[in-house]
Amino acid sequence: MNLAQSAKPLAQRLPGVEYPQSPNIVDVAWPIVPASPWRRVAAWLLDYLLIAAYLVVLTAVSLGLGLSPMQAGITSTLSRLFAAELVGFLTLTLPVVLYFAVCEASRWRATLGKRALRLAVVDKQGGRLTVRGALLREAVRFFPWELSHAMLYRVALSTDRGSIAVGVTIGFVVVYALVGLYLVTLFIGSHRTVYDRLAGSLVIQR
């Protein structure tokens, strides 16, 4: 039997037939057994513990910088809206998105939280998600998170403390609408969220 046959997707293999292992066994298709929505939520909570730990580190670093001779320059920089948003994106949103995308495009096809609960992210054929697909998945998933940060920066740095701009209100409405849509699509039908559908991905139980 050649290598192409040995890498035949598991879902298409004949019962009772033993197929030899190939060197690229991590890249072949895995059986598609959709994961429970609640199990996915639990995996997210485990991953959020890692995010929370990272936030503690960021807070400690920011406090340390606030006590350093650079404090005045940092305060001046972060008082400008674009600079504050850029720093927030580069130090928080981008590392989190890369953590999820790199883990889910890896040979394990899962973040640490998903691995702990034996979940994996695959493409529609049960194969390994591409880096591009994983980045798209996480960019769409974390868009409401980043948008909420952008709106909060506008509130915090607004010169008019007595009112909230219409654009900020619309932004928060979009955030909550997207979060609600993500949750609804997670718990109904095939349990494929909006970002799963856009990225062509599935979350399966291993």
Residue 163 CA from chain centroid, whole number: 33
Residue 48 covered by a domain: yes
Determine the pLDDT at residue 63.
84
Task: Report which of residues 131 and 71 the model is more confident about.
Answer: 131
Residue 134 covered by a domain: yes
pLDDT category, 71, cuts 50, 70, 90?
confident
Residue 1 covered by a domain: no
Q: Work out the end-to-end distance of the chain between its first and last CA atoms, rounded to an integer number of angstroms.
A: 27
- Mean pLDDT over 51-77 rounds to 85
Assess contact for 59 and 68: CB atoms under 8 A.
no
- pTM listed for this prediction: 0.80
Residue 168 covered by a domain: yes
Tokens representing residue 188 in the block: 């109904």
Residue 154 covered by a domain: yes
User: Could you give the CA distance from residue 60 to residue 72 in angstroms, rounded to a whole number?
Assistant: 18
Residue 5 covered by a domain: no
Q: Is the pLDDT at 22 greater than 60, yes or no?
A: no
Q: pLDDT tens digit string along 118-162?
A: 999 999 989 999 999 999 999 999 999 999 999 999 888 877 765
For residue 120, what are the β-bridge partners? 204
Assess contact for 109 and 164: CB atoms under 8 A.
no
Residue 183 covered by a domain: yes
Residue 196 covered by a domain: yes
Determine the pLDDT at residue 159.
75
**What residues make up the domain containing 150?**
31-200
What is the tally of structural domains in the chain? 1
**Rounded CA Rg of the chain:** 21
Q: 118 CB contacts (<8 Å, ≥6 apart)?
A: 205, 206
Average pLDDT in the chain: 85
